[in-house]
């Protein structure tokens, strides 16, 4: 085994050979994190040997991860680092030639393609859709640009990305680009030094409110006029969900019109207890939350992240990040409305949506609105459902953000 040079010993498991003796857990059984399991796939591999240190829901290790991956933790006194994590650059961009069928303009897929074409890596860990169901994820180690492109677009369900690590030892892969959401990246970083790799690049997606396949069905049934024909959806910066249907038509629904009483329990418990919305351990993060409508938002966390961005920078239309508005009152009102499971009639939701879209938070302020809203909701959920975990599960940055708001008492 040629373990990658660890940047810091803090994430190294005590016995870094334990995976050589371990076996994946059998499919379908109870996982160590029990109901909080996000099905990241680690337990489907021999690296389950390190699950106690690696699982984001058993041991929150964000500070150690930031130190190991970026050489320092985020600066809690810098508002942008407090919210979006360690950064060298933050920008908005779109591919000048967008990739048809990608979630946004396809920056993630294009980086994956260029990483293979330039020989930076031997394979890209990404997620295809099952041939039977567009929303059922099938993680793969893609070896060709065509395979990366076939994995474009979100599968908005919990995805066992890390299960393909099990294929690494016999694969001949020495340099890997892993694309993934926060819980997958936290586990990956924890076992990084024990993987048979010479180089690992991590391209992170922000992620919030993910669901099981069954939960997705409930969500679509509740939110869309034609749930069976939805092929793509996104919660957008205009405070509306944009659904695309198989015939190419688009449907938009204001956030404020969602059936909150039905949807309160639809999100996975792992996501309701997650504070890694912006993927703290990734080298480069590509989302949309801090950008204006139609653009993507990128955070370069370290030199490896810049190397990934270099692969496509000449193909991007780049603009600086901007910020407008003041989110705080809207967040506080949202906390109270969510707690009471208020459901607005659709006409009122449209009116509220119209005002918020025109006068509400934009750019980075929208990103902070979303983080504030989800962190406060999740802190409350954790307190009510896993009270004993609250203290050790909340990273310092999340505690500081949550303390800015008044949470219901019980």
Ligand X SMILES: Cc1cc2nc3c(=O)[nH]c(=O)nc-3n(C[C@H](O)[C@H](O)[C@H](O)COP(=O)(O)OP(=O)(O)OC[C@H]3O[C@@H](n4cnc5c(N)ncnc54)[C@H](O)[C@@H]3O)c2cc1C
Residues that bind ligand X (CB under 6 A): 99, 102-109, 126-127, 137, 151-157, 159, 161, 179-181, 205-208, 210, 234, 286-289, 296
Q: How far is the CB of 305 from ligand X (least distance, A)?
A: 15
Nearest residue to the partner ligand X, using Cβ: 287
Compare residues 13 and 368 and give the one whose CB is closer to ligand X.
368
Nearer to ligand X, 74 or 128 (CB): 128
Q: Are 64 and 190 in contact (CB under 8 A)?
A: no
Element (H, E) at 163: none
Of 49 and 57, nearer to ligand X (C-beta) is 57
Q: How far is the CB of 370 from ligand X (least distance, A)?
A: 7
For 197-230, the DSSP string reads -SEEEEEE----S---HHHHHHHHHHH-S-GGGE
* Residue 135 tokens, joined: 């929303």
**Closer CB to ligand X, residue 49 or residue 368?**
368
- The minimum distance between CB 164 and ligand X, in angstroms, equals 11
69/121 Cα distance (integer angstroms) = 18
Chain centre distance of CA 301: 15
Alpha helices (runs of H) in 55-151, residue ranges in sequence order: 62-70, 79-84, 107-117, 145-150
Shortest distance in whole angstroms from residue 169 CB to ligand X:
22
Whichever of 115 and 153 has its CB closer to ligand X, that residue is 153
Residue 49 vs 220, nearer CB to ligand X: 220
Q: Quick one: 66 or 276, whose CB is closer to ligand X?
A: 276
Report, in Å, the least distance between residue 103 CB and ligand X. 4
8-state DSSP, 9 = G
Pairing of strands 123-130, 175-180: parallel
What is the Cα–Cα distance from 242 to 384, expressed in whole angstroms?
32
Which residues are CB-contacts of 128 (< 8 A; sequence separation ≥ 6)?
137, 138, 139, 140, 147, 150, 151
Of the pair 12, 233, the CB lying nearest ligand X is at 233
The DSSP code sequence of 329-342 is: HHHHHHHHHHHTT-
CB 204 within 8 A of CB 284: yes
For residues 12 and 186, which CB has a smaller minimum distance to ligand X in the complex?
186
**Cβ 203 to ligand X, closest distance in Å?**
8
Q: Nearest approach, Cβ of 387 to ligand X (angstroms)?
A: 27
At 94, list the tokens: 């779109």
Distance in Å, CB of 304 to ligand X, minimum: 18
CA 121 to chain centre: 22
Q: How far is the CB of 1 from ligand X (least distance, A)?
A: 26
The span from the CA of 43 to the CA of 341, in Å, is: 35
């Amino acid at each position: 085994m040629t373990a990658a040079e660890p940047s810091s010993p803090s994430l190294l498991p005590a016995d870094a050979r334990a995976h050589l003796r371990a076996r994946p857990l059998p499919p379908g059984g109870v996982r160590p994190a029990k109901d909080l399991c996000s099905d990241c796939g680690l337990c489907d591999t021999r690296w389950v040997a390190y699950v106690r240190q690696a699982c984001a829901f058993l041991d929150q290790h964000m500070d150690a991860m930031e130190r190991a991956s970026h050489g320092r933790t985020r600066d809690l006194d810098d508002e942008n680092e407090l919210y979006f994590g360690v950064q060298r650059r933050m920008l908005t961009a779109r591919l000048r030639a967008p990739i048809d069928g990608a979630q946004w303009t396809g920056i993630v897929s294009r980086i994956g393609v260029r990483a293979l074409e330039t020989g930076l890596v031997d394979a890209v860990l990404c997620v295809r859709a099952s041939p039977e169901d567009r929303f059922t994820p099938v993680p793969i180690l893609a070896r060709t640009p065509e395979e990366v492109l076939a994995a474009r677009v979100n599968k908005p369900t919990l995805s066992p990305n890390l299960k393909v690590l099990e294929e690494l030892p016999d694969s001949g892969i020495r340099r890997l680009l892993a694309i993934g959401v926060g819980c997958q990246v936290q586990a990956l970083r924890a076992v990084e030094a024990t993987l048979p790799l010479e180089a690992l690049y991590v391209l992170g997606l922000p992620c919030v409110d993910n669901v099981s396949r069954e939960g997705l069905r409930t969500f679509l049934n509740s939110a869309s006029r034609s749930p069976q024909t939805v092929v793509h959806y996104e919660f957008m910066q205009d405070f509306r969900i944009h659904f695309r249907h198989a015939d190419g038509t688009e449907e938009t629904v204001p956030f404020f019109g969602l059936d909150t009483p039905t949807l309160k329990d639809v999100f996975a418990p792992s996501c309701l207890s997650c504070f890694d919305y912006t993927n703290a351990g990734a080298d480069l993060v590509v989302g949309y939350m801090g950008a204006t409508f139609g653009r993507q938002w990128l955070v370069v966390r370290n030199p490896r992240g810049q190397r990934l961005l270099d692969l496509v920078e000449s193909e991007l239309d780049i603009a600086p990040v901007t910020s407008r508005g003041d989110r705080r009152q809207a967040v506080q009102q949202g906390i109270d409305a969510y707690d009471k499971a208020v459901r607005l009639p659709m006409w009122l939701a449209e009116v509220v949506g119209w005002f918020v879209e025109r006068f509400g938070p934009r750019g980075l302020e929208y990103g902070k609105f979303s983080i504030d809203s989800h962190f406060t909701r999740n802190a409350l959920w954790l307190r009510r459902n896993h009270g004993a975990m609250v203290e050790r599960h909340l990273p310092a940055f999340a505690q500081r953000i949550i303390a800015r708001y008044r949470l219901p008492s019980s």
